[in-house]
Structure 1
């Protein structure tokens, strides 16, 4: 890892760098912007054959032009990520932050618009849109595990919210997940909340989530199948094809219950297995319906066989 959030503490610019990180003066002159210089300098120090990784923040995702954000994303590392903590950062709901992605900066976001698992997928999708050429750089995404910010007014994430955020990231194309495992605020301060009592409230949920992702790794690493499934309901969908089965990954995009219809482009299947939920849903006329009880709901479906579908 070269460094973290140089887009925020150094800004988008080519001014000389003092070598200081986040602690002024960073650039020369002091109020100049030197983030590109920072990243170029640190990238040059990575030995040949070693993967270079960097994480960015609100500069890339909200504040900078697409050209400047794209330069950070494309020019200085092999793998890139971003950290937008939608569930626990109250400031992210402001018009010039999260409102930039969801409302073009026209207004603040309400709590129900802002504190939403689908927004982690929105961050992933935006960073992926900056990658040129398309798919050239894998995009990972950060999800917090506790109460990362010092202000008590900021939130503490729950286990169901973590699961929704992680799967939203994966559905929208994240090729890796990184957990922010520090509590800098809240009632239980910790530098590694998964190794002490501060993580007691989410540890079991996180272990189950990681086990599920690990078990489904062959599916998640398989090709996407664009166009196989669609829905006009409030869900994000992604389709994978693995070992002669289609897998539909779906997550709610609104903080309320919804009944969703999913339409399939082809096939003769009569039911879809809902993975790890001990149930199936019937498929009639290449459609099936299911209920998403809240904004954290994720359903993963397996449709067995390819009869009736012409695959590339």
Structure 2
């Protein structure tokens, strides 16, 4: 399959990596496994699914939620362990003034990676936003509190042979000081696929980082239209439902499987394009629509994305810009303004529900053809719901856990309330594949 690579700080060029199932590792490329545990400080061990909490249901394994950030002095001091904090990242979201940072904050952005090397540190500190990367210039100091993490590299799995990529990342890690900053890397879809040797994929995911992510832009690259179609993912993606929000959630689910392979968990972040995710050499299949964008984000959250990153560039087709957010700020008629407004809306929902999202989820199935996440918080059960990736839009029936006794379900943000029957069931409609609802039901 072909892999699309986004531009990095090292090179503004895009590359298309060609990978076939028979050539990637079957040609005898050496595999150098450089250890099996994540870099120190080690995250908490995965919590086993045992009956616990207000709902007396098994819990999913997780990294520890907001408390995870207490492992890293800079993140803890910056407030990342606050239950109301949820990291939302802009890639190459360059700014040069307080007004520009404040505009990004109004969209729900609180963190950046990839940035012009001349950016002064005080713009981060003065505006309460965070930097993940290297020392951009002399205005950054060892005690810069809003410099919380280090970005190791981008898509190493798609740019190097396995042994070379692993050695490259290990060299970077070995050269970093123990300064209280977490280590973060982003990978291509290869690490959640079946073409790459699973030992290699799991080493990439588990061997170097404290935070890991994958990018795959289902709505705006041609992959879903290829003939013959190849489903090469750990979590199957059917062609009929390939270009849907559910595929973003499946990427996170696959990343979680790989992350759990060493018995420890770290936060898994998800990338979503805010306009187009393809390279300039290939015409875009389409631009992500505002509703699709919101659905992709929520599908990622439902499947336990612990942070979000927006691919903030559009390098193909008729609506191009190197900084989608900045272009929307300065151009009233910008062709991507509707997508930026969708970013603002869905980010506001996430921040408003951060204290709920940041709790440990329960293992529970509400019914057929649903993709859901169940939480409990302050005496309420919260159900985040979409249709699954093997079905079509329409009505769905939910059956609540026996420990939830509320007679109604409030549909948050929609001004609706649904009746729960005596058997603990309620019914709702999902008009589109990207439709989502969040329900709140009294536990007692």
Counterpart in the other structure of 1:118: 246
Deviations 1:24-53 (A, max 9, x none): xxxxxxxxxx11111111122232122110
Alignment of 1:215-226 (within 5 A): 215-226=352-363
Equivalent pair of 1:140/1:177 in contact (CA under 8 Å): yes
Counterpart in the other structure of 1:25: none
Equivalent pair of 2:253/2:303 in contact (CA under 8 Å): yes
**Cα distance in 2 for residues equivalent to 1:12 and 1:204:** 40
Confirm whether residue 11 of structure 1 aligns to residue 161 of structure 2. yes
Q: Which of 80-89 and 266-275 deviates more? A: 266-275
Alignment of 1:1-312 (within 5 A): 1-13=151-163, 34-48=164-178, 49-62=180-193, 63-91=195-223, 94=226, 99-101=231-233, 110=239, 112-132=240-260, 133-134=262-263, 136-149=265-278, 150=280, 151-196=282-327, 197-227=334-364, 229-232=365-368, 234-254=369-389, 256-266=392-402, 267-284=404-421, 285-304=423-442, 306-307=443-444
**Cα distance in 2 for residues equivalent to 1:190 and 1:261:** 43
TM-superposed deviation, 1:154: 2.2
**Cα distance in 1 for residues equivalent to 2:229 and 2:267:** 24
**Cα distance in 2 for residues equivalent to 1:218 and 1:136:** 20
TM, length-normalised to structure 2: 0.60
1:96 and 1:208, CA in 2 relative to 1: closer, same or farther beyond 3 A?
A: same
1:98 and 1:237, CA in 2 relative to 1: closer, same or farther beyond 3 A?
A: farther
1:125 and 1:97, CA in 2 relative to 1: closer, same or farther beyond 3 A?
A: farther
Size of the alignment, in residue pairs?
Answer: 280
1:161 and 1:135, CA in 2 relative to 1: closer, same or farther beyond 3 A?
A: farther
1:72 and 1:64, CA in 2 relative to 1: closer, same or farther beyond 3 A?
A: same
TM-superposed deviation, 1:198: 4.3
**Cα distance in 1 for residues equivalent to 2:264 and 2:349:** 25
Equivalent pair of 2:315/2:321 in contact (CA under 8 Å): yes
Deviations 1:224-270 (A, max 9, x none): 1223x5211x2201101111110000112357422111111213211
Equivalent pair of 2:274/2:340 in contact (CA under 8 Å): no
Equivalent pair of 1:11/1:59 in contact (CA under 8 Å): no
Deviations 1:205-242 (A, max 9, x none): 11111111111111101121223x5211x220110111
Equivalent pair of 1:98/1:109 in contact (CA under 8 Å): no
**Cα distance in 1 for residues equivalent to 2:354 and 2:238:** 35
5+ long unaligned stretches in structure 1: 14-33, 308-312
Q: Which of 36-45 and 74-83 deviates more? A: 36-45
**Cα distance in 2 for residues equivalent to 1:139 and 1:277:** 29
> 2:203 aligns to what SS in structure 1?
helix
Deviations 1:94-123 (A, max 9, x none): 58986112786xxx953x421010010000
Equivalent pair of 1:61/1:123 in contact (CA under 8 Å): yes
**Cα distance in 2 for residues equivalent to 1:55 and 1:102:** 18
TM, length-normalised to structure 1: 0.84
Aligned-pair RMSD on alpha carbons? 2.1
Deviations 1:256-299 (A, max 9, x none): 42211111121321110000010011111111111111110001
> 1:67 aligns to what SS in structure 2?
helix
> 2:182 aligns to what SS in structure 1?
coil
5+ long unaligned stretches in structure 2: 1-150, 328-333
